[in-house]
Structure 1
């Protein structure tokens, strides 16, 4: 792997000893470079700091008792008109607690973080729904991750420059030269480098961290108005807006998660879109009534519960049978979700002792049968060969193209994916389980698309 002698001279000249963590501001090949470099064998380590509705970089660093930090990953700022004022975020991990809208499906993103020993860990887990880097890496190590943020494109993976695998999903901001940011680890897993490089597009950024810094695993971070860096509590670069997360350098001996101040700094407790203010619980600024705050627990994906009720998006979760309750007819009935047994089971599904739930509704009829089929296909998918996986994903890419050409609306696309799944089921139901495994996997991928449209 070709290296630029200029940057290596700087790095090795400065860091031929245990340096703890250092800030570098220099110029290489006409590019302005600002770096934070952390020796993980020293008294420092790197953690994440998360916000639920946006904070300054200084606040994010202070919230975890840090001394230095850089901005995190892509999100949807409130000044982006296409976002309708809604913040969004991707896969994030803090103190072993994982936040994700799509389970462990990272799509084209690389999840860069740190394991329970404080060592760098990169995870890729693409179910095949989106384009981009189409490979898996350390996908069975989610439970080892203590801190992490996911973003795309992946720049370096296992010492290989892989940025071109995501070229089809790069937008104009990525392909246009400007100041870009990144985080990476070295081959020996003893050092982490994060920072900015000027006058590069994303492909140029990948080349730079590969050839000039010798990065082993690396992801792109957010740029533009989100760019920010602090070193020893001194602002080197300030974001032009509030951001959702950051990678933060902390001293190991001083870091105590149990004493970390709440990110709102005003004794508010944020849990997804739920917020506790004083003695009241709110969902998206709307008050949730008759909830027991002492026993309330946020479960993720809009769900929460107390000792008596389950809540979905701020409303008590009920199961209704019969006609619309606004025009009650004989046979109509309603029952409450069972709070004592209600729990998350993954991939957006929840259950209690009586029902399976998705998007705040109990599954009935065809949806329940689909769920049972998916569970069976997931169980069989462990026996898939790599060739079968690649064949199935190749089939889905062609199917996606066909459906995109035939259907103009999401409901039409959902209908076509269901039809394909049903036809595969009817054609293969008499097959032996071992012969049906790849077709069940294709049906699973169809159902993923159906469920997300």
Structure 2
């Protein structure tokens, strides 16, 4: 559904009436835009010593991503690994039962306890965080390994894992595209263009991205992440029917199958200390607030409220089903324009979050 010229003109004529200012960088933001020809919805987390990424496991039968975020005291998360039976004893990849390792769900936050789930395969690696919040990969094969696959990635760091989730395929390993290594496990669905979930750390290890890239195949995803998000180490996460994202207490996805097995969750320093009992070493560098450093004024908030009210009026008159996708496409396209003022980025970003939101909850 295309938005009528009158509605589109009305939106952006009103937006241009407002002069908004301020700037800088953010510890956490939700990027909803078009980049490199693909629609993305990606959570960016600056690992500045004030913010951390942890893993939250579900019990038998799974849990919603909202529940997993709240379980560890957070309100921002994305679903983790591929869904398997509760005991993980019969997981198959591309119809193949593969050799087993411990390379999954080492995440309970005390540096020792590992998940009771077993039966993982040697093709999986753990996207891990140490107790200071630094990201790294680990895989240590406990038995036979599949030919052509890395089975000993940072194996000496297994005991340094504080939180982590294992999955396959590894997309980037120290900047190298390693998806070809998994050829025998890459099925036809993975080779087709679809929404793909991932988590990655950047070249300097100071930023983590986790989210969704639209309309791309697994074989093409590593090069995309390296070019457009500066990723150095990246892991594929479960997508499709298991895709689930929450941001600042707003649920942005809920598929027909709402229960997942684990999630990566973003915590503030205080939330992390409460969860773990640790006092992480402070990191040097500029600490920032807001959306890319932009702190909206009360007037900015009034403007946002006005536009959200305008969208509600459009939904009421013309129907949400008819216009929601078109509005998302419109504002996402605007977000991708070069040299867009930071204030408009904030405004469009907040509008997009509202357009995607299907439910809300409060963190504990």
| 1: CA distance, partners of 2:178 / 2:216 | 17
Cα gap change, 1:101 to 1:231, in 2 (>3 Å):
closer
- The correspondence of residues 55-70 of structure 1 with structure 2, limited to 5 A, is 55-70=63-78
| 1: CA distance, partners of 2:220 / 2:116 | 30
Instruction: Name the SS of the counterpart of 1:164 in structure 2.
Output: helix
Does residue 91 (structure 1) correspond to residue 104 (structure 2)? The answer is: yes
Are the aligned partners of 2:130 and 2:160 in contact in 1 as well (CA < 8 Å)? yes
Q: CA RMSD in A?
A: 2.5
Does residue 171 (structure 1) correspond to residue 178 (structure 2)? The answer is: no
| Structure 1 gaps, min length 5 | 1-15, 84-88, 260-453
| 1: CA distance, partners of 2:85 / 2:41 | 25
Q: Deviations over 1:253-294 (max 9, x none)?
A: 1332279xxxxxxxxxxxxxxxxxxxxxxxxxxxxxxxxxxx
Q: Deviations over 1:211-242 (max 9, x none)?
A: 22111111100011111111111112224320
Cα gap change, 1:107 to 1:258, in 2 (>3 Å):
closer
Cα gap change, 1:168 to 1:67, in 2 (>3 Å):
same
Q: Which residue of 2 aligns with 1:110?
A: 125
Are the aligned partners of 1:128 and 1:134 in contact in 2 as well (CA < 8 Å)? no
Q: TM-score, normalised by structure 1?
A: 0.49
| 2: CA distance, partners of 1:100 / 1:131 | 27
Larger-Rg structure: 1
Correspondence for 1:198 among 202, 211, 214: 214
Q: Which residue of 2 aligns with 1:43?
A: 50
Q: Deviations over 1:57-89 (max 9, x none)?
A: 1111111111211010012268xxx88xxxxx9
Q: Deviations over 1:121-161 (max 9, x none)?
A: 11133454334523522101110000000111100001111
* Shift, 1:90, TM fit: 6.4
Correspondence for 2:246 among 230, 234, 240: 230
Q: How many residues align?
A: 236
RCO comparison, higher one (Cα < 8 Å, 6+) = 2
Are the aligned partners of 1:161 and 1:210 in contact in 2 as well (CA < 8 Å)? no
Q: Which residue of 2 aligns with 1:210?
A: 226
Instruction: Name the SS of the counterpart of 1:216 in structure 2.
Output: strand
Q: Which residue of 1 aligns with 2:264?
A: 247
Are the aligned partners of 1:106 and 1:124 in contact in 2 as well (CA < 8 Å)? no
More strand by percentage: 1
Are the aligned partners of 1:60 and 1:246 in contact in 2 as well (CA < 8 Å)? yes
Instruction: Name the SS of the counterpart of 1:58 in structure 2.
Output: helix
Cα gap change, 1:215 to 1:100, in 2 (>3 Å):
farther
Cα gap change, 1:149 to 1:258, in 2 (>3 Å):
closer
Correspondence for 1:185 among 201, 221, 231: 201
* Shift, 1:30, TM fit: 3.1
- The correspondence of residues 242-391 of structure 1 with structure 2, limited to 5 A, is 242-255=259-272, 256-257=274-275
| 1: CA distance, partners of 2:123 / 2:199 | 17
| 2: CA distance, partners of 1:56 / 1:69 | 11
Structure 1 ranges of 4+ moved more than 4 A: 100-103
* Shift, 1:18, TM fit: 4.6
